[in-house]
Amino acid sequence: MVAPTRLTINPNLWDNKAEQVKSKIVCNDEMRSYYNDEARKLKSYLEKAYQSRQTTEPQKEWLKEALEQYYNPQKYNVETATEETAKPTLIALFDEFLEKHRLSDVRKKNYRVIKRGLQRYELYIRTTKRGQKAFVLDIDQVTADTLRDIWEFLENEYRYCALYPEIYEAIPEARTPQPRGKNTLLDCFSRIRTFFYWCNNNKKTRNRPFDDFPLEECTYGTPYYITIEELHKIYGTNLIRHPQLAVQRDIFVFQCLIGCRVGDLLKMTKSNLIDGAIEYIPRKTKEGRPLTVRVPLNQTAKEIAARYKSLDGDKLLPFISEQKYNLAIKRIFKAAGLKRLVTVINPTTREEEKRVLYEIASSHLARRTFVGNLYKQVKDPNLVGALSGHKEGSKAFARYRTIDDEMKQQLVDLLK
């Protein structure tokens, strides 16, 4: 159904997918707030009207008539769509959360993936449950059982996309849903819990379904990383027949020597190189308390930086896309002959597996290599964290370092 509203805006300012003014566009804050609030109120009103309609299937003119009643409530003796009378749906509140809660662009992108998952869950219920053709998630009606049902849906979504293709045509993703492991689901639900906390704190609801739906801690295997000797082996591998691979090798070694996340690495420019050190603000800290990380460069890192000093443009190094970078790292490890077996946890089955190092090498291994080797030398998480960008007392820090037998022996030897 298509019917006009009384809202008019320059299409260059409007985000069709998010159904709001584009977040990155420069415009008047009052104008942005007005259009976003009006669109949210309108959607809430129409969803409420849809649920309370008299006929099973809406007639062709239903949308046009509903809008007429929305704009002329006195004429039809219906309630106006004010904040007090038009209760927003959970999805509408999720939109408001994304607009008003302080989140980085990367985290907003992750939250939008979850929002689309919740929208597909609504469509799944409408499609599969008898008498639920008008089902929408209500912030006040979500229970621990609802959360368990959403968990089951997200866990098995890779199966449903073949059974109910119309759902994925209505709310598509860039790629077909893949099997989700428990850690991935725990991460999704920790974000949904954050959304509920925001709703509670902003008096959108008193409902606290997560009180009866506690989340476990994610399970991670013993951290693995390459040794200094293996790093030297990679740097010394002859890749003269593969010049593009040699460039990516240099970038990987450089990342191992400064310990940043790949997202921060890809954004680095020549201006990040200051007095023999790399200075940057990790993207994960930008939304809270910005933390400037300064990592002095050793001789190898300086050598690599100097090699690409004359690079055209402002880029620090000749980066490629993150996906191609990860593929190149696997090829580099294989060329260097790094075939030792490491024990990892399968993210889907959560069972231990033995994998060859070059098969699972990725950009994040560079960060673990930096943290793991430094921690082995100084054994001070706060000192290492000052170089890696981890906050003091960070729980995540434990996922980057391991306490091996050599370190334990050094400690007990102190008792002699």
pLDDT category of residue 81 using cuts at 50, 70 and 90: very low
User: Is the pLDDT score of 391 beyond 80?
Assistant: no
What distance in Å separates the CA atoms of residue 59 and residue 78, rounded to the nearest whole number? 19
Q: Confirm if 98 and 195 have CB atoms less than 8 A apart.
A: no
Bigger pLDDT: 186 vs 71: 186
Angle at 28 between CA 81 and CA 4, to 5 degrees: 40
Q: Which residue do the tokens 């100084």 mark? A: 378
CA–CA dist 88, 90 (Å, integer) = 7
pLDDT band with cut points at 50, 70 and 90 for residue 249: very high
Calculate the CA dihedral of residues 128, 142, 38, 18 and round it to 10 degrees: -60
- The lowest-confidence range among 27-41, 197-211, 379-393 is 379-393
CA–CA separation, 340 vs 283, rounded Å? 33
pLDDT score of 84: 43
pLDDT for 22 beyond 80: yes
Tokens of 79: 């309630």
Asked if pLDDT for residue 40 goes beyond 70, the answer is: yes
Structure tokens of 331?
A: 């090829």
Look at residue 411 and tell me whether its pLDDT is greater than 60.
Answer: no
Lowest mean pLDDT among 17-31, 75-89, 360-374: 75-89
- The whole-number pLDDT of residue 380 equals 59
Q: What pLDDT does residue 298 have?
A: 92
- 7 versus 57: the higher-pLDDT residue is 7
Q: Higher model confidence: residue 82 or residue 385? A: 385
Contact indicator for 205, 140 with CB cutoff of 8 Å:
yes
Structure tokens at 365: 């291994």
Q: Residue 75: pLDDT above 60?
A: yes
pLDDT tens per residue, range 129-166: 887 888 889 999 999 999 999 999 999 999 998 899 99
Tell me: pLDDT of 406 over 80: no
Q: Which amino acid is at 285?
A: T
Q: Residue 282, SS3?
A: coil
Residues ≥6 apart with Cβ < 8 Å to 321: none
Mean pLDDT of the 197-225 span? 88
Give, in degrees to the nearest 5, the angle at Cα 188 between 184 and 189.
120
> Which residue did the predictor score with more confidence, 367 or 412?
367
Q: What is the band of 83 on the pLDDT scale with cuts at 50, 70, 90? A: very low
Distance CA 22, CA 345 (A): 40
CATH of domain 228-414: 1.10.443.10
- What pLDDT does residue 96 have? 93
Give the residue-averaged pLDDT of 402-412.
52
Tokens of 349: 């089955």
pLDDT value at 415 more than 60: no
Main-chain phi, psi angles of 343, to 5 degrees: -95, 125
Separation of alpha carbons 199 and 95, rounded Å: 12
Q: How far apart are the C-alpha atoms of 87 and 44, rounded to whole Å?
A: 6
Which candidate, 343, 168, 151, 375, places its Cα nearest to that of 259?
375
Q: Which two tokens stand for residue 76?
A: 């039809």
Q: What are the contacts of 317-321 at 24+ separation with CB within 8 A?
A: 317/250, 317/251, 317/254, 317/268, 318/247, 318/251, 319/251, 319/265, 319/266, 320/248
Task: Write down the pLDDT at residue 1.
Answer: 85
Surface-to-core class of residue 14, CB atoms within 10 Å of its CB (0-12 exposed, 13-18 middle, 19+ buried): middle
8 A C-beta contact, residue 305 and residue 269:
no
Alpha-carbon distance 116 to 124, whole Å?
A: 12
Contacts (Cβ under 8 Å, ≥6 apart) of 316: 268, 269, 270, 272, 273, 305, 308
In 3D space, the residue among 320, 309, 298 whose CA is nearest the CA of residue 253 turns out to be 298
Q: How far apart are CA 326 and CA 329, in angstroms?
A: 5
Write the pLDDT tens digit of every residue in 330-343.
999 999 999 998 88
- Characterize the bridge pairing of strands 341-345 and 14-15: unpaired
Residue indicated by tokens 């050598």: 303
What confidence tens digit (pLDDT) does each residue in 257-297 have?
998 889 889 999 999 999 999 998 887 655 556 678 888 89
pTM over 0.85: no
CA distance 99 to 189: 20
Query: 3-class DSSP state for residue 294?
Result: strand
Yes or no: say if 276 and 302 are a contact pair by the CB < 8 Å rule.
yes
pLDDT over 70 percentage in the chain: 84
416 band by pLDDT with thresholds 50, 70 and 90:
low
Task: State percent of the chain over pLDDT 90.
Answer: 41
Dist CA 350 CA 211 (whole Å) = 26
Of 394 and 131, the structure prediction assigns the larger pLDDT to 131
The angle at the Cα of 407, spanning 404 to 413, to the nearest 5 degrees, equals 140
Q: Indicate left, alpha or beta for 322 from its phi (over 0: left) and psi (-120 to 50: alpha).
A: alpha
The mean predicted confidence, pLDDT, of the chain is 84
pLDDT confidence of residue 45: 84
* Dist CA 134 CA 47 (whole Å): 9
Select the more confidently predicted residue: 30 or 124.
Answer: 124
Higher pLDDT pick, 138 / 383: 138
> Residue 176: its pLDDT value, please?
84
92-125 per-position pLDDT tens digit: 999 999 999 988 777 888 999 999 999 999 999 9
- Return the domain boundaries, the chain: 11-75, 90-202, 228-414
Helix (H) or strand (E) holding 412: helix 405-413
Mean pLDDT of 159-188: 89
> Is the pLDDT at 182 greater than 50, yes or no?
yes
Cα 315 from Cα 266, distance rounded (Å):
9
